[in-house]
A and B are shown apart, each in its own frame.
Chain A
Amino acid sequence: MKDSLFNAIETKYLRSYFIKKDSELGVDRIKSQRSQRNFQEKLLTVSKQKRQVLLSWKTLVASVISSLALGALIAKFTIQPVVIYAGARSVDPVSGSTVSSNVTIDAKKGEQANSGLVIQGDRLQLPGSTPAWLQVVQLASSAADEVVIERLDKGLRLRIFLAKEAGDRALALRLALGLRPEVSGWVTVNFSDK
């Protein structure tokens, strides 16, 4: 197209005009060796800066990951049990004052409780599908005066306050936990999968 757009005479005079104009404007400046060299130097500087930025980013990411890993490690050893449920129904002063014992039951995986419930500690999570520990929790929440459920690192801790005088459900709970019917006060049940 450029060959057919202007005829030879037009091309000659127009080219002559543009050559002069380009020269006046210094259009060839950018083609000069000096300009090319100057650009190479700038490019090299920017390239080095980019590398430094990349390095500093890598350092930052590495330090963040290290901090998080260290934090997780510390947390594993120091974090306290988390209370995931605490409920009180009716703490009567008589029961509260007649605490006669503090009982701790450790139920482990596959352990057979007196009630015949199998406590599957390796599936401890709320809400869970394991009926054994869930039934104990349900029974405790309906029969005991106070129930505190704590999430442990690998398990669950159930703290139940059993009143001295209680109904059938409390008796069922005592049987389920393998306790004697006269036991009252705070009972702690540790479900663990170890």
Chain B
Amino acid sequence: MNPATVQKLYEGFVTDNVESRRGAVSEAFALYAPLIFKRIRYKFIKVLSESDTEDVVQEAFLKLYLTKSKPMSVESFRSWILKIVMSEALAILRSDYFINIERPIERPQDESEDAEGLSLEETYEMPPVVISPDGVITAINEQLNRSVEACVTEGMMNFSKDYPDREIILSMLLDGSPIQEIADLYNRTEHAMRQFIYESKKKLMPFIEHCLADLREA
């Protein structure tokens, strides 16, 4: 996000001017509501309707408007917003919809590895991308494409049953959300979230790699 926008938003929250704060909350809603909506919608799809989820998110942002708390700094501003709104949303789910707070997401398998500063870029070797110069991918016929999509969908559905949080986080990542933003949403450090995403990819691949094997060979 543009630093000037962040600064403006931050000032809107630290001021005592009611109008400025209202404007800031409104802008924060436009920026962050989709992320929070997505998390709740994915997670509670079986118990919450689309409009209920929308109400929960809107209510949580109204609580943000009413809170007396103020962000400590511009740097911690996004984290401050996401923590407050997410915690308010979970409180509303518990009190108004009688939905128990979810379990915290799984920790990385090896916390010591995480603490040592392991990063994905340093440890993960990308498999070779097989795209021939003459555009083999575009030449794959529709039938094959449909069957691959169906296979991936099936694999992802199984994956989401086993690892719902990992599915949401991968979805946010592919949407283009910064890792720090996702980490703030889950109240984790950026480094821990990187590790979690790396592990999620490792766990995901067995569900879909057989679908994509033919494409690699093509």
Contacts and interface: CB of A to CB of B under 8 A. Distances in A.
A22 B42 CA distance: 9
B26 A25 contact: no
B118 interface: no
Interface stretch (B76-84, B94-102, B104-112, B167-175): B167-175
Given A6-B174, A16-B152, 13 more contacts: A4-B120, A5-B197, A5-B201, A9-B131, A13-B212, A15-B174, A20-B153, A21-B156, A22-B38, A27-B41, A30-B33, A36-B29, A50-B18
Nearest to B156: A17
Interface in B118-155: 120-121, 124, 126-127, 129-131, 137, 148-149, 152-153
Interface of B: 18, 22, 25-26, 29-30, 33-34, 37-38, 41-42, 45, 50, 54, 57-58, 61-62, 65-66, 120-121, 124, 126-127, 129-131, 137, 148-149, 152-153, 156, 170-171, 173-176, 179, 194, 197-198, 201, 208, 211-212, 215-216
7 contacts: A8-B131, A8-B137, A18-B175, A38-B58, A39-B26, A43-B25, A43-B62
Contact of B174 (A7, A11, A25, A29): A11
Interface string A30-50: 110001101110111011001
Nearest to B170: A14
A3 B212 CA distance: 18
Contacts of B216: 9
B30 to A, nearest CB: 6
A6 B201 contact: yes
Nearest to B125: A4
Interface of A: 1-2, 4-11, 13-18, 20-22, 25-31, 35-36, 38-40, 42-44, 46-47, 50-51
B18 A47 contact: yes
A18 B171 contact: yes
